[in-house]
Amino acid sequence: MGLFDMFASKAANQLGNAVKQGVSNAVNNKKEKIVFNSLPETYEQFTALPQASLSTPFQTAAMAVLAFCFYPKDKELCYRMIDFLRGPRPMNGADKQFIADRFRDKDYVPRSYFAGATPSNDYQPAVPYTIEVRENQYTYATDGIAKLFIPSGGADDPRPIQLRKAKDGKWYLWEYSSILLGIRQPESSNPWA
């Protein structure tokens, strides 16, 4: 048995095991494009959006990106929106400090998740405002938790975000640190671009 034969055999066994568990790597994973025709300006408009029903983890993930876009303009409004998305688990001081630390000189990070936003256009999204949210074969590996992925125009790989389903049937924001990590600088502020 050659070296590559061993890998092929191992891969076939792994695929067979995955199929037995009802999970197949060969299946296309679901992608949803969440579209905002216009952006809210107030908390009331934010909570009145159709996606604010939080009936799917995809909606909640996109709403989180939208909420973080408010931080540079009005951090208290952003915190209020995030608390809405977190449901029965409001933010504490450490959560707010974490967000503040991520936004130092990087107000463009949340905009990068909108379609059309790239370093070359200083992360200006296309209209209508669209966020693609993806799942993979491990998205629902933990009961009641969905780990989804959102592509960024400034990162090589989609960033994970976790949502948790509550007793009320809604999906709430659970873990979001990765979507606030640094990305490539906008070209206008990058001396090396």
Q: How many CA atoms lie within 13 A of 186 on its CB side?
A: 16
Domain count for the chain, please give it.
Answer: 1
Cβ contacts of 54 within 8 Å, gap of 6 or more: 60, 63, 85, 87, 170, 171, 172
Q: Report the C-alpha gap between 98 and 57 in whole angstroms.
A: 23
Residue 21 falls inside a structural domain: no
Residue 122 falls inside a structural domain: yes
CA nearest neighbour of 171 among 85, 110, 103, 100: 85
> Residues 103-137, buried b or exposed e (16+ Cβ, 10 A)?
beebebbbbbbbbebbbeeebebeeebbbbbbbbe
Residue 151 falls inside a structural domain: yes
List pLDDT tens digits, range 15-64.
Answer: 444 444 444 443 468 999 999 999 999 999 999 999 999 999 999 999 99
List pLDDT tens digits, range 52-92.
Answer: 999 999 999 999 999 999 999 999 999 999 999 999 999 99
List pLDDT tens digits, range 121-163.
Answer: 999 999 999 999 999 999 999 999 999 999 999 999 999 999 9
Residue 86 falls inside a structural domain: yes
Q: Report the C-alpha gap between 50 and 59 in whole angstroms.
A: 9
Helical ranges in 39-178 per DSSP H: 43-48, 57-68, 75-86, 93-102
Residue 6 falls inside a structural domain: no
Residue 13 falls inside a structural domain: no
Rg (CA), the chain: 19
Residue 9 falls inside a structural domain: no
Containing structural domain, residue 64:
30-189
pTM: 0.84
